[in-house]
Amino acid sequence: MKIAPKRFARWSLTLAAAWMTHAGAAEMIITSEVPITTNPSTYIEQFIAEVGKRTNGAIQGKYFPASQLYNDRDALAALGTGGVHMVWPVSSRLELMDPRLGAISLPFMLGTREMTNRCFADGFTRQVSGYIEPRGVKVLGFLRTAELLFIMKSRDVQRVDDLKGQKVRVVGGKVMLDAMQSIHASPVSMAASEMSAALAQGAIDGAMTSPAGWVDVLGSTAKFAMLAPGMALATSAVAVDKAWFDGLPEAQRKVIQAVLDEIIARQWKETVVKDEQLVKQMVDQGGTYRVLPAAETDRLKERFLAAGQGFRDKHPEVIKQVEDLRKTCL
């Protein structure tokens, strides 16, 4: 009987996990849909190495980037099966697990000021994790993905109306889908790994993505980039199989959290600098980068806030918790 390659890989990982357990070490399988060169892949590799070092090899990490094992959607669903122990997805993916987590993707909701404040970030992490822990998933923290750009194949976006009728890949679940529809664009949800082919085939006209997504995924096929300041600060959530994590010795759990906290603090600073370098790289290669003028940014904010009002009306307790954190921490 033939076994499908992906099924065989998952079956092999399960056997490997069992062997490692008997050998006295815990296997930590981490998967992502982003390429090995794209944020947060390099930080995942650093995380695995440092956790292994500080636990003297008691936790053995393995990383599968570029959807080699699962895309992020399937990986989150696989938490608890033993096939994967940790996922670092774009945070909007969590909305699939609980609609209240659409708050993460509300345009103009969270910014660097909030997420680099330890009090706010820890409180927000506990809030988000509390919503999905009953489903067996725990959130340990948030990394910075990027301040998202509109990267377009052939449309030089200088006004909100320039996005009208454009098919744009978005990150953010229903919340961002509604926001994009409010400006009469056609939002498309898809994995980062699918963007390049979709752009080349005309399935999308552009994408809401990071500078790294522009360089590593879309490349020179997409000529134009536009930033709307404050619109969308994308983050990556560190989601873990709660039963697996809680089953580790306390000392190992503390190591995982400590290493992660150190990486997060450093990563937020490093990725800002890296994004500036990536944008310059594309401009030097003939790309065009624009910042949406203040008046147009205000128009976009007005439209997007109106589009998100339904979420705010449906989940007022979620918004209140975030606002209470702001009052307490900032």
Least reliable range by pLDDT among 12-21, 156-165, 213-222, 292-301: 12-21
Regarding whether 77 and 107 lie in a shared domain, the answer is yes
Q: Is the pLDDT of residue 137 over 80?
A: yes
Report the number of distinct structural domains present in the chain: 2
Band the pLDDT of 80: cuts 50, 70, 90.
very high
Q: Is the pLDDT of residue 247 over 90?
A: yes
With beta carbons less than 8 A apart as the criterion, state whether 232 and 208 touch. Answer: yes
pLDDT of residue 10: 52
Q: Is the pLDDT of residue 168 over 50?
A: yes
Regarding whether 85 and 203 lie in a shared domain, the answer is no
Regarding whether 257 and 174 lie in a shared domain, the answer is no
Residue range(s) defining the domain that contains residue 155: 149-232+278-329
Instruction: Tell me the C-alpha distance between 93 and 98, whole Å.
Output: 10
pLDDT of residue 29: 97
Regarding whether 304 and 199 lie in a shared domain, the answer is yes
What is the per-residue pLDDT across 3-31, written as a single tens digit (0 to 9) for each? Answer: 455 544 554 544 444 444 435 789 999 99
Regarding whether 282 and 267 lie in a shared domain, the answer is no
Regarding whether 287 and 257 lie in a shared domain, the answer is no
pLDDT of residue 34: 85
Q: What is the mean pLDDT of residues 102-124?
A: 93
Q: What is the mean pLDDT of residues 50-74?
A: 96
pLDDT of residue 23: 53
pLDDT of residue 19: 41
Regarding whether 175 and 39 lie in a shared domain, the answer is no
Regarding whether 167 and 123 lie in a shared domain, the answer is no
Q: Is the pLDDT of residue 98 over 90?
A: yes
What is the per-residue pLDDT across 181-236, written as a single tens digit (0 to 9) for each? Answer: 999 999 998 878 799 999 999 999 999 999 988 998 999 999 999 999 999 998 99
Q: What is the mean pLDDT of residues 150-174?
A: 93
Regarding whether 37 and 112 lie in a shared domain, the answer is yes
Say what the pTM is.
0.81
Phi-psi region of 173 (alpha: psi -120 to 50; beta: other; left: phi over 0): left
Regarding whether 312 and 209 lie in a shared domain, the answer is yes
Q: What is the mean pLDDT of residues 54-65?
A: 97
Regarding whether 31 and 83 lie in a shared domain, the answer is yes
Band the pLDDT of 114: cuts 50, 70, 90.
very high
- The CATH number covering residue 162 comes to 3.40.190.170
Q: How far is CA 66 from CA 40, 49, 69, 116, 308, in A?
A: 12, 19, 8, 28, 32
pLDDT of residue 190: 86
Reported residue count of the chain is: 330
Instruction: Tell me the C-alpha distance between 31 and 41, whole Å.
Output: 9
pLDDT of residue 20: 41
Specify which residues 290 forms β-bridges with: 226
pLDDT of residue 17: 46
Regarding whether 122 and 62 lie in a shared domain, the answer is yes
